[in-house]
Amino acid sequence: MLDYESYKNQLRRLADVNFAAAVLSWDQETYMPAKGADHRASQLATLAGLAHAQATDKALGELLEKLQADASLDLVQQRNVQHSLRTFKKTQKYSAEFVEALSRAISEAFQAWQTAKKENSFAHFAPHLEKLVALRREECEFVGYEKHPYDALLDEYEPGLTTAEVEKLFDEVRTELVPFVKAIAACKPNSNAVLQKNYAKDKQWEFGLYLLRLMGYDFDAGRQDISMHPFTINFGSNDVRVTTRVDENDLADMVTGSIHEGGHALYEQGLPESEYGLPSGEAVSLGIHESQSRLWENNVGRSLEYWNTVLPELKKLFPEQTAGTTAHTFFEALNVVQPSFIRVNADELTYHFHIMIRFEVEKALIEGSLAVNDVPAFWNKRYKDYLGIDVSSDAEGCLQDVHWAHGSFGYFPTYSLGSFYAAQFYAAAEKAIPSLTQQISNGDLLPLREWLREHIHQYGKQYSARELCERISGEPLQFSYFMKYARKKYAHLYAI
């Protein structure tokens, strides 16, 4: 087993470098002073180059080939080696120059995006987006794909997922979800006025910490901070950090953001510490990762039972704003279905229309059928076509998300995938824990967290997303679970 120990040590040293870069990225998005941007771009590029050198070291490849033929390895070890060898062969296709150029372009683009969003100027960001699109197109060609270049980018986040499968998925959304949303639109609207009152920032922050603790988030292995765009980042399962943002006139922004990122963080904190740096210590895919945040945010956090639990604490912090309200008041308010401009604030049904638009933009950019300068017009037309609303600014339109500034093309479809996995997993949890609804109503969320750890978190990449889904529910991903969940919930809310 000396060879396997050597392999573990090499991957853990590689993880050390990558997590060191992640700490700098976290700092860049939270506390870094503006004048630090240039040097930070250089620092991240240097670390990216070092990581690439380690990941493509010839000796590592030879060791992986040797281990692949080692019959003494157990199943977890075999899967680790298989994943690492696949990654090694893929990484070999990247030159050090490309890796450093991409890292630098991303750092520069992030700073430009922040300014562009503040100044409501897509033109300020466009040259950086142009550079990133060109780099990602180049990547698709040297990585390779079977039918569409976008497949190569999807595979980075959801291994095995293809452009054709995403198109089929959104066909189901159009066929089933779009008519359902139209039926809701014809009903008497519910009100979210209770969320639009003035809620002081410091007390909102206190409530957010309470929500994270209630979920079982371990603050000895994490922390929460403020950022422009909420995110979760980890440096190992014992250091998993979340960020949120607070709008004093919209309580939902902080509430849903904290629960959502808390779901991501629970997954990272639930990965086996003993497998640090190895595939078995990493999340299986972005779709599965998103299933955890969506399950907590929507299936739990937007449920009536959940608000039976958390409303008393909110009333303590905001007695004036919540006077005369009930759990059902917040249940209705957090589940109002209506078209909106901002993806992260969208209701859980129209949310998928936002994802469809981003997928269409990315696919068109990568295949070359859409020029970067035409993105705002393309975006605005789709919002009018799908959501019936007129986008009035770049800031609330195509500049609202940080993903493209991070170079993350192929990421967005995993958000919809995650919601659909979440519905299927939650249905399985309800079968396994008959008293789950009552437990949530009583404020006991730990049995659900432990069920997720037992069935998902502990396995890392031991199973593929498809295998994991079949182990949990007995079948591959089915959109029908999401529609069944949506119909049951919203038929009650809107008396359909």
**Cα separation of the two ends of the chain:** 62
What pLDDT does residue 495 have? 87
Average pLDDT along the chain: 95
Report residue 97 CA to chain centroid gap: 29
Average pLDDT value for residue range 76-103:
93
Cβ atoms 232, 207 nearer than 8 A: no
Out of 261, 297, 348, 362, which one is annotated catalytic? 261
Does an H or E element contain 242, and which?
strand 240-244
| Amino acid found at 59 | A
What does R_g of the chain's alpha carbons equal in angstroms? 22
Structural domains of the chain ordered from first start: 2-144 (1.20.58), 163-494 (1.10.1370.30)
Cβ atoms 258, 226 nearer than 8 A: no
What pLDDT does residue 92 have? 87
Q: Predicted confidence band at 496 (pLDDT cuts at 50, 70, 90)?
A: confident
pTM summary value: 0.88
Tokens of 427: 């249905």
| Amino acid found at 4 | Y
The CA–CA distances, whole Å, from 162 to 146, 166, 211, 240 equal 9, 6, 36, 30
Q: Which residues contact 490 (CB under 8 A, 6 or more apart)?
A: 180, 184, 335, 337, 349, 496
Residue 37 has pLDDT above 90, yes or no: no
Average pLDDT value for residue range 408-434:
97
Q: What percent of the chain has pLDDT over 90?
A: 92
C-alpha count within 13 angstroms, C-beta hemisphere, residue 67: 28
The SS3 assignment for 361 reads helix
Alpha-carbon distance of 116 to 319, in angstroms, equals 39
Tokens of 348: 């859980």
User: Tens of pLDDT along 99-147?
Assistant: 889 999 999 999 999 999 999 999 999 999 999 999 999 999 999 999 9
CB atoms < 10 A from the CB of 44, how many?
Answer: 22
How many residues comprise the chain?
496
Alpha-carbon distance of 214 to 95, in angstroms, equals 46
- Which residue(s) pair with 234 in the sheet? 240
What pLDDT does residue 314 have? 98
Average pLDDT value for residue range 407-417:
96
Residue 1 has pLDDT above 80, yes or no: no
What pLDDT does residue 492 have? 87
Active site annotation includes 138: no
The SS3 assignment for 249 reads coil
Average pLDDT value for residue range 325-354:
95
Cβ atoms 186, 203 nearer than 8 A: no
User: Tens of pLDDT along 197-246?
Assistant: 999 999 999 999 999 999 999 999 999 999 888 999 999 999 999 999 99
- For 133-167, give the DSSP string: HHHHHHHHHHH--SS-THHHHHHHHSTT--HHHHH
What pLDDT does residue 38 have? 85
Alpha-carbon distance of 173 to 351, in angstroms, equals 11
